[in-house]
Amino acid sequence: MLELVSKVHDETRQGEAFAPFTVDPNPYKRHFYIESYGCQMNFSDSEIVASILNEEGFGATRNFEEADLIFLNTCSIREKAEQTVRKRLTEFRKLKQARPGLLVGVLGCMAERLKSKFLEEEKLVDIVVGPDAYRTLPNLITEADGGQKAINVLLSREETYADISPVRLNSNGITAFVSIMRGCNNMCSFCVVPFTRGRERSRDAQSILNECQDLFDRGYKEVTLLGQNVDSYYYIAEGATQPVTFANLLERVALISPELRVRFSTSHPKDITDDVLATMAKYENICRYIHLPLQSGSTRVLQLMNRSYSREWYKAKVDRIREYMPDCGISSDIIAGFCTETEADHQDTLDVMRYARYDMSYMFFYSERPGTLAQRRYEDDIPEDVKKRRLQEIVEMQNKLSAESNRQDLGKIFKVLIEGNSKRSELDWMGRNSQNKVIVFAKEQYDLKPGDYVQVTVHDCTQATLLGKITS
Ligand code: 5AD
Ligand code: SF4
């Protein structure tokens, strides 16, 4: 029996459940192993790659030792992410020396950023493929089999892989990611993504709806619509007069069934519209949760970051969200120690965090990336110890806010979608509420299963988890 698995490696997603997805026994002659690093988009791309390889007769394996092809789907967002991949490659290098037929491929953002340099630097990498070139993988594998170094890092203005049905890797059978657009046009000055993932393009709305419907028909209960900047989703079908905006798309996905929860990520504070907020408020199955990256709370730093909003604008957006949905969860991404950041700028960040009362944040210190606007224009002038101290203060602030947010939930009743057993005990279920908070509760005598909704009263909390009891 073969199992399809993609390991998720991300500083921000550590500790996530690792549930193998099993397929029927099949006669695949060669097997691939794929490991994903970085954002949810990469994870979702690995599912497209798996589908392309399956079509070509390659079976997935969760054991790299029995693989004929090993792929790393890589991330370039911070230097540390790249270092992790390089370390992993040295491990596979040893394996390759012992098994000459084995091919090692690098996919994703590092492939795009380093291009042929990868083949020069990492002599034992055979295949290098950028995020828009996965359809050419089968040909590249043939080239590599013939002893050539195979590379395709062409970016595309059109590719959305709309017609490819992703093979769900690492799936719990209940929640799935659905990619709705690719690339990014924003050019935040610190960010390498516009260079590694190219220009923004939206996927055919009907193909998104078909994929969501198909997931629902197969028993999935939650879809997360993915894009670097979902609010700029914009699609005009051939012959249509009206475009489909993100608000329209959300509504159409929500209408598939009230039993299907809809989430999305990531929103840009400058682009999220009242239409989107009104649509969220209108449908109970669109989750009350918005990931709204702040990056910095200082208007001066935001300007240098090219974020196109001020601290006041951001705070007004938070107000607007709470006007539409007083119970909406909000989370953030924050960067400490961007170029020229002063103590006063840093205090501004802590101040906006307090104002927004984030339930959760992903927090980083600034890591200069080659080729970005910031690297070309500004000096990375904040000493590492200062960056780290500021980051520590940001983390402490978030811990306080998360604890406060969890305390506010004590005694409340939430509708929870059961995702599976809790990590600690088979006697407990783990699920999420609409606000994306994890809730753990005893199974008791009830006959429930993953994919069921259940009302749970919260009676306690740890730092990251709410603890509850089924409300009969
Ligand atoms: N340094 C640190 N953090 C970064 N991010 C993006 N680029 C950098 C960088 N150069 C963070 C941003 C973004 C998240 C995905 O990663 O906060 O929202
Ligand atoms: Fe990077 Fe900004 Fe685009 Fe996000 S919106 S991917 S931070 S350029």
Edge to edge, the sheet with strand 175-179 lists: 175-179, 222-226, 261-265
What per-residue confidence (pLDDT) applies to 5?
A: 36
Q: Which residues of the chain have pLDDT under 70?
A: 1-27
How many whole angstroms from 363 Cα to the centroid of ligand 1? 9
Per-residue model confidence (pLDDT) at position 294: 98
Residue bearing the CA closest to ligand 2, atom 1: 191
Q: Are the CB atoms for 392 and 380 separated by under 8 Å?
A: no
Which atom of ligand 2 is found nearest the CA of 268? 5
Domains of the chain by range and CATH? 3-152 (3.40.50.12160), 175-407 (3.80.30.20), 413-470 (2.40.50.140)
pLDDT at site 3: 31
| β-pair type (30-37, 69-74) | parallel
Answer yes or no: is the C-beta of 186 below 6 A from any ligand 2 atom: yes
Provide, for the chain, the percentages of residues in helix, strand and coil under a 3-state DSSP scheme, each rounded to the nearest 5.
Answer: 35, 25, 40
CB 228 near ligand 2, within 6 Å: yes
E-state strands within 236-386: 244-245, 261-265, 289-291, 329-336, 360-365
Q: Which of 42, 184, 187 is the pocket-test mutation for ligand 2 (most atoms within 8 Å of CB)?
A: 184
Backbone angle region of 92, left / alpha / beta, with phi > 0 → left and psi within -120 to 50 → alpha = alpha
Q: What is the pTM (predicted TM-score) of this model?
A: 0.93
Beta-carbon contacts of 462 under 8 Å, excluding residues fewer than 6 positions away, are none
Mutate to test the pocket of ligand 2, among 39, 112, 185, 188 (most ligand atoms within 8 A of CB): 188
338 lines ligand 1 (CB under 6 A): no
Of all protein residues, the one whose alpha carbon is nearest to atom 14 of ligand 1 is 333
Mutational test site, ligand 2, from 12, 77, 113, 191, max ligand atoms within 8 Å of CB: 191
Q: Map residue 49 onto helix, strand or coil.
A: helix
How crowded is the C-beta side of 381, counted as CA atoms within 13 Å? 8
Q: Which ligand is nearest to the CA of 185?
A: 2
**Distance between Cα 43 and ligand 1 center (Å):** 17
> Tell me, what's the pLDDT at 93?
87
Q: Which of 202, 194, 193 is nearest to 158 (CA)?
A: 202
Ligand 1 atom having least distance to the Cα of 39? 15
* The pLDDT value given to residue 27: 63
Beta strands in 88-233 (DSSP E): 103-108, 127-129, 150-152, 175-179, 181-182, 201-202, 222-226
Report which protein residue has its CA nearest ligand 1's atom 9.
367
3 state DSSP class of 19: coil
Are 224 and 211 in contact, with CB atoms under 8 Å apart? Answer: no
Question: If you measure from the C-alpha of residue 191 to the centroid of ligand 2, how many angstroms do you get, rounded to a whole number?
Answer: 6
Measured at the CA of 195, the angle between CA 193 and CA 201, to 5 degrees, comes to: 75
Q: Is the CB of 232 under 6 A from ligand 2?
A: no
